[in-house]
Amino acid sequence: MIIELPKLNFDPKSLAPAISAETIDYHYNKHHTMYVENINKLIVWTEFENLSLEEIIQKSSAGPIFNNAAQVWNHNFYFEALSPKPEIMPNLILLENIIEKWGSLDNFKVEFNKMAISNFGSWWTWLIKDKNSWKLDIINTSNAITPISNPENSQIPLLVCDVWEHAYYIDYRNKRAKYLDNFWKVLDWKIVERRFK
């Protein structure tokens, strides 16, 4: 099975100034594309050759196959929720859940950004919901690790921010907090809601 690179839902120039066309060019056309090319090469003649991307992630152990497959999935998930004309608020049920946990949408963003600044190295910051309780939480995963890597895991990802330096360094240099503030301006809650339901 060929692992495809999904097309972007937006014009690469359209997220500026939050995310520049140059960043999208490097991030999507170079980094994301490279992960897709790598995984397609790595699975040839292996037990993973005919599996879906999700199955490859769940059945591979730590190493290049897992890393590249998980990076493809994480980037698909990240780019899918970006939009130049985003829905800037979640709908009632999701909003109620956020308010119940964090008090307000703004306070949720503050806590999310705090989490996204707290780690050392390269990682992803996620809003997740528990499959059983529907409770929301914010988590970090290092390198390529993804909430979907363990099928037993009850964490369902709803949104992700890429906090690898390549996601923001061209536009923001070392000012990661500014990238995180502007990330919310292009995050489409419509997509997050769809994942929540």
Query: Which residues here bind Mn ion, judged by CB under 5 A?
Result: 162, 164, 167
Q: Among residues 126 and 164, whose Cβ is nearest to Mn ion? A: 164
Residue number, 123 or 164, with CB nearest to Mn ion? 164
Report in angstroms how near the CB of residue 159 gets to Mn ion at its nearest.
15
Report in angstroms how near the CB of residue 92 gets to Mn ion at its nearest.
32
Write 7-11 long-range contacts (CB < 8 A, 24+): 8/79, 9/79, 9/80, 9/82, 9/83, 10/82, 10/83, 10/84, 11/84
Cβ neighbours for 80, distance < 8 A, ≥ 6 positions apart? 6, 9, 191
Judged by beta carbon, residue 26 or residue 102, the one nearer Mn ion is 26
Of 77 and 108, nearer to Mn ion (C-beta) is: 77
Helix (H, G, I), strand (E, B) or coil at 160: strand
Query: Residue 168 Cβ, how far from Mn ion at the closest point, in Å?
Result: 10
Residue with smallest beta-carbon separation from Mn ion: 162
Question: Least distance (Å) from Mn ion to the CB of residue 27?
Answer: 6
Secondary structure element (H or E) that encloses residue 36, with its range: helix 33-42
DSSP H or E stretch at residue 161: strand 155-162
